[in-house]
Amino acid sequence: MTIYDPRTDLHGGAAVVKTTLLGTANPIPTLDRAGNAIVVEVAGEPYLVDCGPRTVYELLRNEIDPGDVENLLFTHHHMDHNLSFFHLAIVGWTAGRESLEIYGPTGTDDLVDGLYSLWEEDIAYRQEAGYPAEGIENIATTRVSEGFELETDEVHIETLPVQHSIETYGYKFTEKSTGATTVLSSDTAKFDGLSDFAAGANALVMTCGIVPVGETPEEGFVWERYTEPYEEERRSVLLNYHVTPTQAGEIAADAGVDTLVLTHFTPYPDRDAIEAEVAEVFDGEVVAARDGCTVSV
């Protein structure tokens, strides 16, 4: 396993399942973190999981052609996970995409219907300017539900309903020839099924709800209310739907994974404190991610 992290700068080795965290923020925007989106590459095929704010720019930054994304999987339809869908749908098409398969929970069809109704004239104008109907008019959706599986010659993808405020799924990617496995939890509270789902995985990527606050920017815009730890009332509401770093570590330990990557941070996370908190309960490798963090298994 190799991890490339912009801070620790560890990388190398041939990836069987290469997972890149394009954006690692929660819904509150800061300039150093984009919204949630993760690319899982298996046998050269990029599977984009979620499409939060700034996803298209982060694909470019990570040298992934938006036109190459032909499989998009949504974990759930909160804005920090889907706001760039319309951008990707149109830009990927004009970049040469020939087809797009979208997998996701309830609401996925609405998103595609919205694309066709809100941007009908825009799409028609681009077709007049020479772009083909293929790639935009043939977008297909598949409703994900408990037990849903997707299989190609190279990869087996499984879903797990997780515990969030709306219908939400975690995804497990297993490369078939080696068994290399990466699990993405999406937004969830801690529950027993999660460690069963992730059992034995090489890498587990978990979103966190509330994390220790670190240094705030000395210049530029600062979200003042996020420069202090959350008050108890908000904290307890959020923790109905998200895990703490300690809980993520407990799940990783129960599952026996090699590496735990944490993401989905409130502004100004203290990454050292997050990793130290996890290390109290999990003795595998732990990374509090920054945008561009890559985990190869």
Contact set with Zn ion (CB under 5 A) = 78, 80, 187
Decide if 19 contacts 38 (C-beta within 8 A).
yes
Specify burial of residue 277 (Cβ count, 10 A radius: 0-12, 13-18, 19+). buried
Kindly tell me which of 181 and 263 has the beta carbon lying closer to Zn ion: 263
What's the rounded Cα separation, in Å, for the pair 9 and 284?
Answer: 18
Kindly report the CA angle at 46 between 14 and 284, in degrees rounded to 5?
50
Could you tell me how far CA 35 lies from the centroid of its own chain? 9
Q: What sections of the chain are H helices per DSSP? A: 55-61, 79-82, 85-94, 108-118, 120-128, 192-197, 232-238, 245-255, 271-279
User: Residue 33 is which amino acid?
Assistant: R
What's the rounded Cα separation, in Å, for the pair 76 and 165?
Answer: 10
Q: CB 53 → Zn ion: shortest distance, Å?
A: 11
Q: CB 77 → Zn ion: shortest distance, Å?
A: 9
Kindly tell me which of 168 and 182 has the beta carbon lying closer to Zn ion: 168
What's the rounded Cα separation, in Å, for the pair 51 and 79?
Answer: 9
Phi, psi (5° rounding) for residue 143? -80, 125
Kindly tell me which of 15 and 49 has the beta carbon lying closer to Zn ion: 49
Q: CB 12 → Zn ion: shortest distance, Å?
A: 31
Kindly tell me which of 97 and 242 has the beta carbon lying closer to Zn ion: 242
Q: CB 75 → Zn ion: shortest distance, Å?
A: 8
Kindly tell me which of 5 and 80 has the beta carbon lying closer to Zn ion: 80
Phi, psi (5° rounding) for residue 131? -80, 145
Which residues, at least 6 apart from 142, have a Cβ–Cβ distance to it below 8 Å? Answer: 101, 102, 103, 148
SS3 content of the chain, % helix, strand, coil (to 5): 25, 25, 45
Kindly tell me which of 42 and 293 has the beta carbon lying closer to Zn ion: 293
Q: CB 165 → Zn ion: shortest distance, Å?
A: 7
Kindly tell me which of 158 and 187 has the beta carbon lying closer to Zn ion: 187
Q: CB 81 → Zn ion: shortest distance, Å?
A: 6
Q: CB 89 → Zn ion: shortest distance, Å?
A: 20
Kindly tell me which of 53 and 66 has the beta carbon lying closer to Zn ion: 53
Q: CB 187 → Zn ion: shortest distance, Å?
A: 4
Tokens 């800061």 belong to 30
